[in-house]
Every structure is written in C-alpha cells, then in structure tokens.
Chains A and B, each alone.
Chain A
Amino acid sequence: MSALTSAPRRAGSSSPGIRRGEAAAGWLFTAPVLIILGVFLLVPVLMALWVSFSDWTGRGSPFSSNVGFVGLDNYAAVTTGGGLAERDFGTALRNNAWYVLLVVPLQTALSLFLAVLVNRAVLRGRGLFRTAFYFPSVTSSVAITVLWLFLFSASGAVNEVLSWLGINGPNWFSDPSGVVHNLLGAVGITSGPAFLTGNTMLGVSWWDWLAGPSVAMSAFILMAVFTTSGTFMLLFIAGLQNIGADVQEAAMMDGANGWQRFWRVTLPQLKPVLFTVLTLGLIGTWQVFDQIYTGTQGGPGKTTLTPAYLSYSSAFLSQQWGQGAAIAFVLFVIIVALTILQRFVLRDRPVSRRRLRQYEMPAQKGVQR
C-alpha cells in the first residue's frame, strides 16, 4: 500500500500551453472506471441500505410507493426476533466463526511454513515445488468444490486413505455432528451442563455454539487451507526475499540457532506481510459463498450455512429481501470491525528512543553491501 499512497510527482517541466486540456483528458480517461464502479458499487450499496430498512418483497421497484419503511425491523428479525430468522442467522454466524477460527491460523502457518521451505537458496527444483503449491489457488472454486465432494464422499479417496490407518471415515458432507462435541463424546461427555444448554445467544444454545465446526464444515475448512496456502506462500516468499542476509548473519555470529533466528529475527521482520496475510484471510473467510452454493447449500442440518450464503438465500430464494440486505450489512460491519481490531492488535508499538539506539549498529555505516 505504501507505494500506492506515495505523493504524485509532477512530470517534467513543460510550458503550460502544451499541458492545456489535460484536466479534461484526466476526467475523460478515468470516467469509464468511475461510472462503472459508481453505478455497480456505490449506488447498489445505497439501494441495498434502503432495502434493508424496507418491507420490499422483490416485486416491482424497491422505490415504488407501496414499499414501506420499517426502520430496524429487518435487523431486529435476524438478531432478536426469536424466530427461525434469528436462529438461522445465529447458526450461520456460529458456523462461519469456527471456519474463521480454524482456517485463518492454519492457512497462515502452513503458507509461512511452505514459504520458508521453498525459499532456501540451495534448494533444487524450487520452481517446481512453488508451482505445485500454488496451482490450487488459480483453479476455480467451483471446480475445486466438485473435486472435494468426490474426494470426501463416503467411498472417496480420503476415506480410503483413512482406512489404511484403520480409521472408519465419516460420510463427510452428510455429517452434521460438531467436531468438538464428537471429541467430548469420545471421552463420554454427550450432553452439556445446564448453564450451557439452557442459555442461548441468537437463538442458538451456548452448548451448540461450542459444538465446533460440523464434520461437513471441516471438509470445507481443509479445502480453504488447500486452496489459499499457495497464494499466501507467495506473499511470504516476497517478504522473505526483502529481508537482508546481514541481520541473519549477525544473529548467526551471536550464536543463535535456526529456531531462534526464525522466531527472533525472521518473524519480526515479516510483520507487515503477516498483517497482510491475516487481514486478507479474515476478509476472505467471512465471505464463504461459492463453496456452499456449489456443494451443500447450507446442509446437512444447516451446519454449513454461512452469513454470505444466508444473505443470498433469504433474498433470492425466500424473497425476504430486507432481511437478506440486513444480513449483508451486518456481515460488512463484522469484516470491517475485525480488520480494524487486527490493525490495532498488530500495530507497531512505539519504541523509546533509548531502546531504539540499542538496535542500531554504528559499524554498519561504513560497510558496503
């Protein structure tokens, strides 16, 4: 981003006569982009905002006189309504929260791991390995979902491999049971304490919030990690290549071992990339739509329902346009809030001048790289 925000630089110094008409050309040149983005992005957002406050049913224009303003009713229906709409929204948030909680750390760790592995200078065939890891990222999410439905079918490749290890694999995409509940069930806990089962949030009991992702959702989680790790690996490789070798060498001289060098020297310098990867991960994982549309439509037992898909299905399938739009805006707020929160958590803490001086290496001034 820093390159994008750099101050515009005046091109050359030519006589004003020659530069006449540039303002008109500037607007003319940017007009197509501005018009298209305005018409299909800015106007739509404003229209949807109106729809989220209206009782429009999808017939005719949302601005016609028989469409009423209902205030926050649509928002209330999905957050405090006490009905199916609230329960579905709660379930969708629960599902997506587990998805985010598992996908973001896994994809970040795996892509960093892959980047460190293939970034070694002495590695033979590293182009080949990078290609292998990156290829899933360029293929369409629909094609990958179709493939995943096959690999994770009851008699699919994944269960075949599991059977070699003596594990009887589940019927992945038809299994609504929560993974955390299953683990608890394995140690004999099959029902939660009353204070968890008795109290609800957004129509879903606390016990069900803590159920973990369903087995079906777990297959989607693995898919997200599979398809995104290659892209983020490339970001980390770019970051690793910007790190000068001299600091590494200095650390090596000081006797730091490989593990210490990674944690104390490499990782802190990767912080900007880490921030980018985590932000993109958070934004992406709250928008799961293609996979659900292609694969499960929210099933089994609504355990793969996500807010993005729910927003679509409320509007386009159930004709609840106001609720659909309201869900979309709540989702928007969640994404923006998490991004800001993350910027706050990972912000560069001010370092005191005295502390800073300790890190400076006066000898470096005269050294030519």
Chain B
Amino acid sequence: MSATALRWQIGLYVLLIVLAVIYIYPFLVQVATSFKTDAAAAADPISLAPQPFTWAAYERLFLNSDFPVWFGNSVVVTVFVTAGRVFFNSLAGYALARLQFRGRGIVFAALIAVMAVPTVVLLIPKFLVINQLGIYDSYAGMILPLLVDAAGVFIMKNFFESIPPSVEEQARIDGAGTFRIFWSVVLPMARPALITIVILSFQGSWNELSHFVISTQSPELTTLTKGVASLASGQLSQGSQFPLKLAAAAIMTIPVAVVFFIFQRRIMNASEGAVKE
C-alpha cells in the first residue's frame, strides 16, 4: 500500500470513529447522568463517571412514582399488539399471497392506499371513533387500533410468495383445510418473517406516543412514553431533575436496546418499512 493510500485509510478510520462517538456518546452520558446527583448533572454534564455515585433517581422512580404502572401498561399493550399483528398480518398476508378470491385486487389496492395516510393527521379522527365506540380510556381503545398494520401484511405476503406452492399442494391432497394448511404447514415455515413482524411491532408499540395521548386520560392507563413525556415537560416535577428524567428514559430504552442487539442483523435488513421520525 502506498503512503498516500495508507494516509487515506487512516483518515477514513479517524473520521468514522469520531462520527461513531458522536452517535453513541449521548447514550453513555444518559446512563452516567442517571447515577449523578442533580447538582453534579448540571456541573459536569459530559463526564461518564458520576461523582458521587447515587441510585437516588432509580429509587425514586420505582418506589415513589407511578413509573412501575407505566412500565406495566407498556408491557401489556406491547404484548397484545405484537401477538395480534403476528396473527392477523400473517392471515391477511397468506390470503393475499395464495388464496384466489374475487376482490383480492381491491383489498390489495386499499392496503396500499392506507399506508399513504400520515398518522399524525389521524389523531383527531381516531379519537372521534374511539370515543363513539365507547372504548375511550380503556385498554381496548389503546390496543384495538394498533392490532394490524398494512406494512406488516406486505412483509408477510412477500414471504409467503417465496415458499414453493408444492408444499401446500401435498397437504391439500391429504385433505387439510385452508386454515389447517396455513396454521400447521405454512406458518411454521415463515419463522424469519414472523420474527421480523415481532421486532417491528414490539418497537412500534413500545415507542408509540401519539395514539396513547389521544386514546387515554387516566393515570392508571399511562404508558411509559406518555409518563416519561409528562416527566420531561415538568408536569410532575420541580426543577430540572435531569438524573430522574434520564433514568426513566434509559429504562425505557433498555428493552428496545436488548432486542436490537440480539436481532441486529435482521433489524438492519428489515428497516425499510419502519422509518421513524
């Protein structure tokens, strides 16, 4: 390697490392600050070594606030939404990929049109319907509207199309019904796509804010995102209290981070349908 090429190479790595530090350092600061005292957080906002080290923020969150309730609600909603999306999205995906029925083209076109509607525009509309159905401020109102998503249907449809039809033909000749074929033959083969749906719905419902803002009001139905947002805007706290807020945000990030690091490769390949702003 010539001297110039080597210099280019070193420059590239230096640049990449600087950029990576800029992207990751904020999260390290977040964790470090959650163990600092309020005064230390303000005095030394950059250091990664809390001096003095304190669990005070976490103690307050878990023993002296509604944080455990928020966490519980997020878990409940995420579990139901994920289970629902896995089941309903794959059902519809299978029908669109394999079953011949009149109107399939229309269903397909309708789903594509649905994907184009911006979610923020739907805040007031969704509230109106949830309210009219009498499920405002209930788990039903939080979970039902999130149970299916058009993007997930397409992921499943594309996967089912890649499975050779001969597998199903065999089961059909053996006398299995359509649902039986779907459930016992095709679905077990779709594991990679199912994992993708699980990850995307987990991320989506765990991080969801606006839907819970418009579908609930009682404190006992507050999710993590809504609770932490109320902490951040100072509705529940006096002063800046950054260690407390950052501890709450850090705990909220942990499940997503764990899933991310386990399924990294899959997440990075499946991200095309999951763009977040």
Contacts and interface: CB of A to CB of B under 8 A. Distances in A.
Interface of A: 3-4, 8-12, 14, 18-19, 21-27, 29-30, 32-34, 36-37, 39-45, 47-48, 51, 61-62, 114, 117-118, 120, 123, 127-143, 145-147, 149-151, 153, 155-157, 160-161, 224, 226-228, 230-232, 234-235, 238, 280, 283-290, 293-295, 297, 308, 311-312, 315-316, 321, 324-325, 328-329, 331-332, 335-336
B264 A32 contact: no
User: In which size bucket is the chain B interface?
Assistant: 35 or more
Given A137-B271, A143-B228, 9 more contacts: A4-B158, A23-B101, A23-B102, A48-B128, A146-B248, A150-B30, A153-B45, A293-B229, A316-B127
A153 to B, nearest CB: 7
Contacts, number: 318
8 contacts: A23-B100, A37-B114, A131-B264, A138-B256, A143-B253, A228-B277, A289-B210, A335-B118
Given A142-B249, A155-B43, A12 B165 contact: yes
Nearest to A287: B120
Contacts of A19: 100
Interface of B: 12, 15-16, 19-20, 23-24, 26-27, 29-30, 33, 41-43, 45-46, 88-89, 91-92, 94-96, 98-105, 107, 110-112, 114, 116-130, 132-133, 144-145, 147-148, 150, 153-154, 157-158, 161, 165-166, 168-169, 172-173, 177-179, 182, 203, 206-207, 209-210, 213-214, 224-225, 228-229, 231-233, 240, 242, 245-246, 248-250, 252-253, 256-257, 260, 264, 267-268, 271-272, 274-277
Contacts of A149: 232, 245
A341 B114 CA distance: 20
**What is the interface of chain B mostly: helix, strand, loop, or mixed?**
helix
Contacts of B179: 25
A118 B13 CA distance: 10
A34 B123 CA distance: 20
A366 to B, nearest CB: 32
Nearest to B207: A140
Contact of B125 (A23, A48, A234): A48
Contacts of A316: 127, 213-214
Contacts of A51: 124, 128
Given A4-B154, A30-B92, A34-B107, A228 B276 contact: yes
B19 A133 contact: yes
A312 B121 CA distance: 9
Most buried by A among B148, B276, B277: B277
B104 A8 contact: yes
